């Protein structure tokens, strides 16, 4: 298995000490519902953890939850609420959305406020080793001049123009423009904790390394997140942990998921061009959303468009119809068997072994569907074949989570009309196809033509 390592900018063979894999992914800052771009990251790493376990690794997967932060405090002030109440509300919403999306691979969610002791311990180590300093009335900062390798993940330096800002860590008394807050001294109305550092709260970056050092030790295998976290967040993590422990590398493999783009712009809450996963889950089954989120390679941008969601609906509809047909064949009397799944399994796992090329894995799945339909049409698919296909689909679903429990119920006469229309379109008899489409519409169904075939949906009644 090969992974693209952001640190080295190349694919590397994935190796671990024994079969144990320690894996950490940056979680949400819980001041609002997560947007669909956040969901892309969390669904992808859900697949990563599940596939590692499928390959026989013992993957311990921890994800943090930032439940104390400037953004949470700002929203609480606007709504005249307690910041921890806001954080609790959106933590609960996040966990429900993850469950609804089928994200079940996380071994443990670790909230920042539940690890204050670990944060304080790590900051004290940084102070003792000369990597941190106090700005009176503000807080403790990491001194980047003590860590010359800062920038090795992003290939940036502290001299670059916009390095100074990291979640409002601005202070004219900083020693270096890129220095970031480790501990923020308390201000009126903000949550705070008493400590030897002064009454205050953690900076954004420190919670992650304090949490991972507590559970994994100073070094571990795999760290993931969205590509927007490479700089400065993950650079700060490297600086903190390697400065505190003196050990390198902090993490062996770094993986980052590209943005979802909305009309060619990164989707973000700050730009106001985001759609929440919470809202989309009210309109689409989890299988459709997971298929959409996994439909492009994780290191390439994914377009958020109605057409792409329709394509995903059509794909899941086609998979559902296939599952139903295979179920019928699997229950028939035994007949001569030929192996349909061996080549598929090889292609599927080869795709995932190649830096999680999920689009190629999906292509292998649809090749299996096409070949199986052809064999079934020719009565060359045995019940044993069908049972093996069912087992293979079960393995696919355990990793990708895209196999619907059952196909959408469509009357047989409508299905037949759709098939006849497809034959007309193949024969370029578009006038007859349009007439049949209108007939289908008059019967209460609408058709969307996609690359996965026609998507048939019951028309909404007002």
Query: pLDDT tens digits, residue range 42-69?
Result: 999 999 999 999 999 999 999 999 999 9
Mean pLDDT of 109-125: 98
Mean pLDDT of 358-365: 98
Which residue shows structure tokens 């196909």? 407
Closest among 24, 46, 8, 38 to 356, alpha carbons compared = 46
Hey, is 63 helix, strand or coil?
A: strand
Evaluate if residue 198 carries a pLDDT over 60.
yes
CA distance 399 to 118: 33
Confidence of residue 426 (pLDDT cuts 50, 70, 90): confident
What's the pLDDT score for residue 411?
63
Evaluate if residue 200 carries a pLDDT over 60.
yes
- Average pLDDT over all residues of the chain: 90
- The proportion of the chain whose per-residue pLDDT surpasses 90, expressed as a percent, equals 73
Contacts (Cβ under 8 Å, ≥6 apart) of 369: 318, 319, 322
Q: Which two three-digit tokens encode residue 317?
A: 């509809």
Confidence of residue 273 (pLDDT cuts 50, 70, 90): low
Which residue shows structure tokens 């299996």? 368
Confidence of residue 165 (pLDDT cuts 50, 70, 90): very low
Which has the minimum average pLDDT: 26-35, 97-106, 380-389?
A: 380-389
Domain at 305-400, CATH class: mainly alpha
Which has the minimum average pLDDT: 108-122, 143-157, 353-367?
A: 143-157
Mean pLDDT of 359-380: 94
Confidence of residue 432 (pLDDT cuts 50, 70, 90): confident
Confidence of residue 196 (pLDDT cuts 50, 70, 90): very high
Evaluate if residue 339 carries a pLDDT over 60.
yes
CA end-to-end span of the chain: 52
- The ranges assigned to domains in the chain are 2-279, 305-400, 412-458
Q: Are strands 10-13 and 2-5 parallel, antiparallel or unpaired?
A: antiparallel
Q: Which two three-digit tokens encode residue 274?
A: 């985001």
Q: Which two three-digit tokens encode residue 140?
A: 């403790």
Q: Which runs of E-coded beta strand occur in 227-269?
A: 251-257, 260-262, 265-266
- Kindly tell me the burial class for residue 15, based on how many C-beta atoms sit within 10 Å of its own C-beta (0-12, 13-18, 19 or more): exposed
CA distance 25 to 46: 10
Evaluate if residue 177 carries a pLDDT over 70.
yes
Which has the minimum average pLDDT: 196-205, 214-223, 441-450?
A: 441-450
Residue 427 backbone phi and psi in degrees, to 5: -90, 5
What's the pLDDT score for residue 161?
36
Q: Which two three-digit tokens encode residue 251?
A: 């993490």
Mean pLDDT of 11-27: 95
CA distance 6 to 153: 7
What's the pLDDT score for residue 410?
67
What's the pLDDT score for residue 422?
72
Evaluate if residue 460 carries a pLDDT over 70.
no
What's the pLDDT score for residue 436?
75
Closest among 68, 63, 52 to 19, alpha carbons compared = 52
Q: Are strands 260-262 and 108-111 parallel, antiparallel or unpaired?
A: unpaired
What's the pLDDT score for residue 163?
42
What's the pLDDT score for residue 12?
98
What's the pLDDT score for residue 272?
57
Mean pLDDT of 294-303: 97
Evaluate if residue 241 carries a pLDDT over 60.
yes
Evaluate if residue 369 carries a pLDDT over 70.
yes
Which residue shows structure tokens 């990597």? 131
Answer yes or no: are the C-beta atoms of 114 and 84 closer than 8 Å.
Answer: no
What's the pLDDT score for residue 379?
85
Evaluate if residue 353 carries a pLDDT over 80.
yes
Domain at 2-279, CATH class: alpha beta
What's the pLDDT score for residue 438?
76
Q: Is 28 left (phi over 0), alpha (psi -120 to 50) or beta?
A: beta
Mean pLDDT of 380-401: 94
Evaluate if residue 203 carries a pLDDT over 50.
yes
What's the pLDDT score for residue 344?
96
Contacts (Cβ under 8 Å, ≥6 apart) of 224: 23, 24, 25, 26, 41, 44, 45, 48, 254, 255, 256, 257
Confidence of residue 445 (pLDDT cuts 50, 70, 90): low
* 274 vs 305 pLDDT, higher one: 305
């Amino acid at each position: 298995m090969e992974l693209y390592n952001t640190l080295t900018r190349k694919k590397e063979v994935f190796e671990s000490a024994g079969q144990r894999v320690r894996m950490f992914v940056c979680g949400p800052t819980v001041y609002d519902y997560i947007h669909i771009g956040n969901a892309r990251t969390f669904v992808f790493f859900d697949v990563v953890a599940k596939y590692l376990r499928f390959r026989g690794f013992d993957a311990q997967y921890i994800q943090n939850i930032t439940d104390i932060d400037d953004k949470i405090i700002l929203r609480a002030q606007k709504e005249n609420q307690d910041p921890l109440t806001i954080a609790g509300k959106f933590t609960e919403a996040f966990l429900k959305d993850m469950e609804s999306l089928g994200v079940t691979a996380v071994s443990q969610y670790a909230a920042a406020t539940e690890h204050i002791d670990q944060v304080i311990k790590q900051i004290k180590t940084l102070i003792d080793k000369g990597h941190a300093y106090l700005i009176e009335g503000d807080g403790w900062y990491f001194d980047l001049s003590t860590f010359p390798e800062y920038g090795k993940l992003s290939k940036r330096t502290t001299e670059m123009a916009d390095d100074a800002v990291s979640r409002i860590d601005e202070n004219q008394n900083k020693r270096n423009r890129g220095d970031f807050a480790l501990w923020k001294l308390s201000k009126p109305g903000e949550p705070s904790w008493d400590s030897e550092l002064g009454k205050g709260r953690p900076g954004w970056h420190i919670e992650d390394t304090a949490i991972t050092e507590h559970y994994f030790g100073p070094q571990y295998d795999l760290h993931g997140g969205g590509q927007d976290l490479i700089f400065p967040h993950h650079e700060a993590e490297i600086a903190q942990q390697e400065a505190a422990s003196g050990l390198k590398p902090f993490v062996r493999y770094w993986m980052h998921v590209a943005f979802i783009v909305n009309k060619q712009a990164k989707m973000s809450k700050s730009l106001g061009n985001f759609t929440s996963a919470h809202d989309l889950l009210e309109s689409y089954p989890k299988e459709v959303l997971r298929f959409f989120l996994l439909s492009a390679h994780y290191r390439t941008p994914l377009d958020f468009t109605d057409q792409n969601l329709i394509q995903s609906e059509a794909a899941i509809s086609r998979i559902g119809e296939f599952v139903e047909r295979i179920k019928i064949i699997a229950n028939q009397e035994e007949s001569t068997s030929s192996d349909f799944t061996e080549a598929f399994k090889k292609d599927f796992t080869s795709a995932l072994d190649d830096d999680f090329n999920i689009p190629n894995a999906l292509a292998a799945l649809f090749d299996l569907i096409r070949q199986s339909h052809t064999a079934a049409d020719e009565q060359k698919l045995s019940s044993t074949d069908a049972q093996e296909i069912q087992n293979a689909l079960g393995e696919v679903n355990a990793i990708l989570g895209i196999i619907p429990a059952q196909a959408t119920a469509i009357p047989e006469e409508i299905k037949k009309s759709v098939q006849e229309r497809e034959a007309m379109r193949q024969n370029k008899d578009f006038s007859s196809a349009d007439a049949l489409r209108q007939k289908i519409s008059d019967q209460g169904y609408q058709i969307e033509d996609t690359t996965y075939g026609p998507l048939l949906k019951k028309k909404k009644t007002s």
